[in-house]
Structure 1
């Protein structure tokens, strides 16, 4: 059937819905990140234990992404996305009522499983329903909503927890999530170009073998694991560092560091333009080197230097992620949607695994211990990036749309 054109009311409704969907998805996922020190105090937890409040969600999301890619190809897009957003919002409200930490972790795990029905499915919906000439605008609005939600979810919970409590903060974010899910449901047009796919698990297994035997894709999946693992872990524990001695900052001020996410919206576009001139290989290596430099700068015992280091680290992460994700898009062969899901699987798996390991290191070595592990992982990532510099390019005719660069 005819696709949605930019002159139609359906185009505005679609963009409105996907902005709300992206905003809600990442606000609900990351809203607990600045609350980790408060959860550690409330439930008498170690930093490693409190970091599980995010790690269980991203780990469950990683697994759910692969399953959701199969389900959405069989039953459709819109219903699965609506269910994902409502379930995540409800689970956030359940977290606010949790009587103990195990209950909170169960709710957060269910939140991650539910959200698997949103990120990759939203990209598939846009690709099927929007005219190709306008797809970039629609995808950009979805990306902006995702980045804005990831930032605002952190800032709101940090501020409200400073004034009221972490329970009030989570309840407020959960209610906002319910509203966003309702706006998504009433605004998004029904799918008109969806066709159920065949193959099921057998087709998925064949696609996995094809992608994992490629000369370049496994290295790009490894970069997704390393980049996101380092990025989320740094934000997990920078709060512990700034709340403690010798800085002793207020919770609201520490949460304000999430405004640095705004740099990512710019750096993704900047890196893409630079890559058009210099090539992805050179830009990826340079931005990952800058990411490492920013991380090392946070070792300084000066708040201004730490913020500057996190700014460089954040700017460079989004630029690096943009390069790696778009490279997957240009490299992947059919089934391309599975390549997207695999990249996101390793992306969120890195967040879960590395985030937990950094909690263990924090208990023994504090922030220097965390930085040592992340620096080692980024150095490994630089070696992978150097390996990719020698990767033979594929035919430019067989390409896939870019993955979303600000999905964090």
Structure 2
């Protein structure tokens, strides 16, 4: 491995020498125009003043160490390494969803009880995320990501040999803990290691990997189960996770700009209080719980519906998950629309489409059911990409901990998946599909009300995420942006003054990135 990494290190040193010279020139130019062109990075948003005395977050490094940029060999390797990691992470988490009927049959448990094999993993993953972030501040981001993927692969392979129902649940619970490592620190690693004008595209590549992983996790197990049973499907998924872990281990280099730190309880308590007292953030956390609950609950119950009369699809029921890839392009479309209309308005549109998708599954014809799942998936992934980025941006402007706010959002998100996913399968068993529709539709309406609440309270302008522009107020601060300090864009080209440059911190595409650009 050392021989493979040596030329990469040489490339990095040569790129750094060039970029440091560029950064020095840019710093001189910035000083000359100080007071005339204030960027969003140095000027707080109107109405929101950061708290005095805040300590810089872990990972902050002196400007002498340049971040990776497009054109650097390491930049490409990091993007594709984390894309592999995101794919493996979500395949390992969700592959059991289409196998729930088979697991119920194998271990002689009810349909409602079988959903615990997914719900337990998501809830342990959510809780573990609260602790992984502070641990990564002490031991490093790359170490956490490597251990996360290797550990989840080993536990996934072991679960194929679980002798009893309870042993399977224990292994899936532990796997959820292991899986928490990568999503908890991947975006923090990218923000630290990438140049400020390049991290948005890197984020988009990683999130595209997670979307592809969610699709593969729902599509692969059905055919694999038909060939080798659920144990064979589990072993293949475990092997895939282990292979992706190897890819991440080789491709993603150790951190260069990370600074170890020990969490301070007083600061943690202060930022927690600030976060939980903000009505917009609390509303957005609950949007994640309600939206994810509606989405996962309907998909959980759908596997059982299509195996029952009048469909009797058996293992072929997993083919309904072909609707899932429709949603992979949703974050790109949502980001572009949000650049024009604002994130709050587009999130409301997404919730309305989510409700339409739920209702389309009510009739019996199979084509309508598949169409409904396609609309549901597209709407959910688009809305989630906007809301997760909204949380990070709101926390940044509020002066709260961005990583902590994202962790609380994911805690609510996966808790909603666990609680309402299980509830939907219970309602299927008790009242059939109309009862499932009632649960998912009720959660979707709730999510819409909460988006409106967040939109009402979050009225300040927001920075663009790379510190290169000042935004005009748009209701949630996500639309029109006026660039005042030309800096390299995510593709290495110059963004000239006056050109609109919309962006979203964690949404795929950042409002203007094409799928080809994300993967380039």
Question: Shorter chain as normaliser: what TM range?
Answer: over 0.9
Distance (Å, rounded) in 2 between the aligned partners of 1:150 and 1:121: 19
Contact 1:318–1:405 (8 Å) recurs in 2: no
Distance (Å, rounded) in 2 between the aligned partners of 1:248 and 1:182: 40
1:124 is matched with 188
Higher mean Cα deviation, 313-322 or 219-228? 313-322
Higher mean Cα deviation, 112-121 or 276-285? 276-285
Find the partner of 1:352 among 407, 418, 424: 418
> Unpaired segments of 5 or more residues in structure 1?
none
Higher mean Cα deviation, 324-333 or 77-86? 324-333
Contact 1:329–1:399 (8 Å) recurs in 2: no
Distance (Å, rounded) in 1 between the aligned partners of 2:432 and 2:311: 14
Contact 1:30–1:150 (8 Å) recurs in 2: yes
Find the partner of 1:281 among 330, 341, 344: 344
Distance (Å, rounded) in 2 between the aligned partners of 1:261 and 1:204: 38
Superposed, which structure 2 residues align to 1:295-374 within 5 Å?
A: 295-332=358-395, 333-374=399-440
Q: What TM-score comes out, normalization by structure 2 length?
A: 0.75
> Shift in Å at residue 219 of structure 1?
0.2
The reply to whether residue 188 of structure 1 matches residue 188 of structure 2 is: no
> Unpaired segments of 5 or more residues in structure 2?
1-64, 467-503, 510-520
The reply to whether residue 263 of structure 1 matches residue 366 of structure 2 is: no
Q: Deviations over 1:85-110 (max 9, x none)?
A: 01111111111111111111111000
The reply to whether residue 147 of structure 1 matches residue 211 of structure 2 is: yes
Distance (Å, rounded) in 2 between the aligned partners of 1:187 and 1:265: 24
Superposed, which structure 2 residues align to 1:2-13 within 5 Å?
A: 2-13=66-77
Contact 1:228–1:347 (8 Å) recurs in 2: yes
Contact 1:70–1:200 (8 Å) recurs in 2: no
Q: What TM-score comes out, normalization by structure 1 length?
A: 0.95
> Shift in Å at residue 8 of structure 1?
1.8
> Shift in Å at residue 4 of structure 1?
1.4
Find the partner of 2:174 among 75, 93, 110: 110
Find the partner of 1:26 among 90, 94, 101: 90
> Shift in Å at residue 200 of structure 1?
3.9
Aligned residues: 405
Q: Deviations over 1:193-219 (max 9, x none)?
A: 001234344432222111111131000
Q: Deviations over 1:268-301 (max 9, x none)?
A: 1111111121222222212211111110111111
> Shift in Å at residue 160 of structure 1?
0.7
Contact 1:243–1:254 (8 Å) recurs in 2: yes
Superposed, which structure 2 residues align to 1:221-236 within 5 Å?
A: 221-236=285-300
Superposed, which structure 2 residues align to 1:129-208 within 5 Å?
A: 129-208=193-272
> Shift in Å at residue 259 of structure 1?
2.9
Q: Deviations over 1:326-373 (max 9, x none)?
A: 211221133111111111111111101111111221221122111111
- Where 1:6 maps in the other structure, the secondary structure is coil
- Where 1:97 maps in the other structure, the secondary structure is coil
Contact 1:162–1:250 (8 Å) recurs in 2: no
2:133 is matched with 69
Find the partner of 1:97 among 161, 169, 174: 161
Alpha-carbon spacing, 1:260–1:197, altered in 2? closer, same or farther (3 Å): farther
> Shift in Å at residue 120 of structure 1?
2.4
> Shift in Å at residue 404 of structure 1?
5.1
- Where 1:288 maps in the other structure, the secondary structure is helix
The reply to whether residue 81 of structure 1 matches residue 184 of structure 2 is: no
The reply to whether residue 389 of structure 1 matches residue 455 of structure 2 is: yes
- Where 1:319 maps in the other structure, the secondary structure is helix
Distance (Å, rounded) in 2 between the aligned partners of 1:244 and 1:311: 21
Q: Deviations over 1:129-161 (max 9, x none)?
A: 011222122111111111111111221111110
* Greater gyration radius: 2
Higher mean Cα deviation, 352-361 or 202-211? 202-211
- Where 1:24 maps in the other structure, the secondary structure is helix
Distance (Å, rounded) in 1 between the aligned partners of 2:260 and 2:191: 15
2:506 is matched with 403
> Shift in Å at residue 399 of structure 1?
5.6
Distance (Å, rounded) in 2 between the aligned partners of 1:168 and 1:397: 48
Distance (Å, rounded) in 1 between the aligned partners of 2:386 and 2:80: 27
Distance (Å, rounded) in 2 between the aligned partners of 1:13 and 1:6: 11
Contact 2:137–2:263 (8 Å) recurs in 1: no
Query: C-alpha root-mean-square deviation of aligned residues, in Å?
Result: 1.7
The structure richer in helix per residue is 1
Contact 2:327–2:374 (8 Å) recurs in 1: no
Distance (Å, rounded) in 1 between the aligned partners of 2:69 and 2:353: 40
Distance (Å, rounded) in 1 between the aligned partners of 2:236 and 2:203: 28
Contact 2:280–2:455 (8 Å) recurs in 1: no
Distance (Å, rounded) in 2 between the aligned partners of 1:208 and 1:182: 36
